[in-house]
Structure 1
Amino acid sequence: MQGATRIGISGWRYAPWRGRFYPKGLAQRLELDFASRMLPTIEINGSFYSLQRPVSYQAWHDATPDDFVFAVKGPRYITHNLWLKDPLTALANFFASGVFALGSKLGPILWQLPPSFAYDADRLEEFLALLPRDGRSALALARQHNEKLDDDRAFLKVPAKLQIRHAMEVRHASFENPGFIAMLRRHGVALVVADTAGRWPLLEDLCADFVYMRLHGDKELYASGYSDEALDRWAGRMDAWRNGRQVKDARLAEPSRLLSRKKGRDVYCYFDNDVKVHAPYDAAHLAARLGVATGLGPKDSFVLPPGMAVRKPARGRARKK
């Protein structure tokens, strides 16, 4: 059985995209509405920089189609400030901050470690053991939030049958360690397949029932687009993974195990090469190779969904510059 395939972008609010990916005159408040109708999944980046509010998560939920899925980036306060040390209260605050308001649109949660963070088995084991996997455990954790989230700020309504997946992105060579891979597999946490133009490790060990990919650019970090040949290669790998197979030339930290399964793996792929507006187009072109529907129209343009109006240029005397 083939797993689900979702291909999208990391974030959606980028000034250089306006008038190029986003139609000229589209109100900024409608950018998520537009992007979520072009591609089936988006990473929420704001949650990485600060705790968001329930009203924001609810607005994002309401702005997107019923079958849309968000990935949520875990707070850098936990990964970059605390370095995963004693993370209980910070995790509780994160889960109480409104994440549950995404409801059925809540997809995987991404934990990105800083490049200076070397493999520390004890610290990682403690952190992974705290991560909730279902609504009941997530609610129990969220209720341990501190005074940063008062009664009006905390959101503790958990959707029925909520299941939570986690993925970890590493950026230090010491993680090329069989013990780390074994740990992720014990906890069912996916290792992020991260293409970073050779700057940080690119590992393809299969550790969970899903695969999480982040394509930051293969030639220039965050900037370069992907060629047809590169997209063909990634499409071939994703097709193997969603059908439960591992590719023969996989780049592995634990090379003795290729881990195939009869039931396919869901695959989530996010393009983060946003600087030159490559991300949404690369996502759509990769999706087309794998039979995933997008809003891409003729000549690589995205089609404005019905009912979504753009602002008309203001009339009147032009201002002197």
Structure 2
Amino acid sequence: MSGRIRVGIGGWVYEPWRGVFYPEGLRQKDELHYVGEHLTATEINATYYSTQKPATFANWAKAVPDGFSFAVKASRYCTNRKVLADAGESIGKFVHQGIVELGDRLGPILWQFMPTKIFDPQDFAAFLQLLPSSVDGVPLRHALEARHESFDDPAFIAMARDAGAAVVLADHEAYPAIHGADVGFSYLRLMRAQEEEVAGYPSADLTGWAKTTQGLAERGDVFAFFISGAKVRNPAAAMDLIARLKA
């Protein structure tokens, strides 16, 4: 049985989307609801920068329809550090801030590492041991976004697989495109949107990504997010990919 493909963007508050993706005059407090009507997922960026309140997560969950998923970006205090093995306290604070209030809208947690972070097998293994499999009885899924070429290593792939964590497949001109092992779900971050392309990506590229996500869905759920690049085009790219998958 194939998994479900969810497609979205990074965050939902971005001024240049107003009048381009969001209709003129739409209230800012209604923007997340609008995302929920047109896309099937989004990444929460706010959690990367600061701790949120349980009520905030609950309100976000109420704003979107059944079947929508939030990927939660882990705090920078967990990942932007010299010794990852020392992140235990920060990880505990992050997972217990109230993310369970997202309920069945809770998707994977994204652990993003700096482009300068080099793969240290011993330290990274210790970090993976700190990632909880659940919080308050709610199962957690973890996705690892490594941006340094040293992570393009069979040892890293095996380590992530053994921890049950997905390796983020990045489409970026500078970051390595690392294909992880099958852990029951996949996570893509597509970062080459071009402003001159109305749908962000050329049509042939979007066709290719549709085929890629459909192939990955044979192994489980797929989460695909259009981020950075020409950010103003990312909602259009996400909607285009959703339309291709429906077709």
Q: What TM-score do you get using the length of structure 2 for normalisation? A: 0.93
SS in 1 for 2:232: coil
- Corresponding residue for 1:54? 54
Superposition pairs of residues 138-153 of structure 1, within 5 angstroms: 138-139=135-136
- Corresponding residue for 1:260? none
> Is 1:41 paired with 2:41?
yes
> Is 1:269 paired with 2:244?
no
- Corresponding residue for 2:87? 87
Q: Name the aligned partner's letter for residue 194 of structure 1.
A: A
* Cα drift, residue 270 of structure 1: 0.5
> Is 1:209 paired with 2:212?
no
* Cα drift, residue 66 of structure 1: 2.4
Superposition pairs of residues 66-105 of structure 1, within 5 angstroms: 66-81=66-81, 83-105=83-105
- Corresponding residue for 2:213? 238
| CA distance in 1 between partners of 2:64 and 2:80 (Å) | 30
* Cα drift, residue 82 of structure 1: 5.5
> Is 1:166 paired with 2:142?
yes
Deviations 1:152-209 (A, max 9, x none): xxxxxx5xxx22110000111111111111101101100000111x211012233411
SS in 2 for 1:62: helix
Bigger Rg over Cα = 1
> Is 1:190 paired with 2:145?
no
* Cα drift, residue 76 of structure 1: 0.6
Q: Which runs of 5+ in 1 are unaligned?
A: 140-157, 244-263, 293-321
Does the aligned pair in 1 maintain the 2:3–2:222 contact within 8 Å?
A: yes
Q: What TM-score do you get using the length of structure 1 for normalisation? A: 0.72
- Corresponding residue for 2:132? 132
- Corresponding residue for 1:14? 14
SS in 2 for 1:116: coil
- Corresponding residue for 1:287? 242
SS in 1 for 2:33: helix
- Shift of the 48–231 alpha-carbon distance from structure 1 to 2, 3 Å rule, reads same
* Cα drift, residue 219 of structure 1: 6.4
| CA distance in 2 between partners of 1:121 and 1:219 (Å) | 36
| CA distance in 2 between partners of 1:82 and 1:13 (Å) | 31
Q: Name the aligned partner's letter for residue 29 of structure 2.
A: R
Q: Give the number of the structure whose residues are more often strand, by fraction.
A: 2
- Corresponding residue for 1:25? 25
SS in 1 for 2:225: strand
- Shift of the 120–219 alpha-carbon distance from structure 1 to 2, 3 Å rule, reads farther
* Cα drift, residue 275 of structure 1: 4.2
Does the aligned pair in 2 maintain the 1:16–1:275 contact within 8 Å?
A: no
2:155 corresponds, among 135, 160, 179, to 179
Deviates further, 7-16 or 210-219: 210-219
Q: Name the aligned partner's letter for residue 239 of structure 2.
A: A
Q: Name the aligned partner's letter for residue 179 of structure 2.
A: E
- Corresponding residue for 1:311? none
* Cα drift, residue 55 of structure 1: 2.1
> Is 1:111 paired with 2:87?
no
Task: Give the number of equivalent residue pairs.
Answer: 244
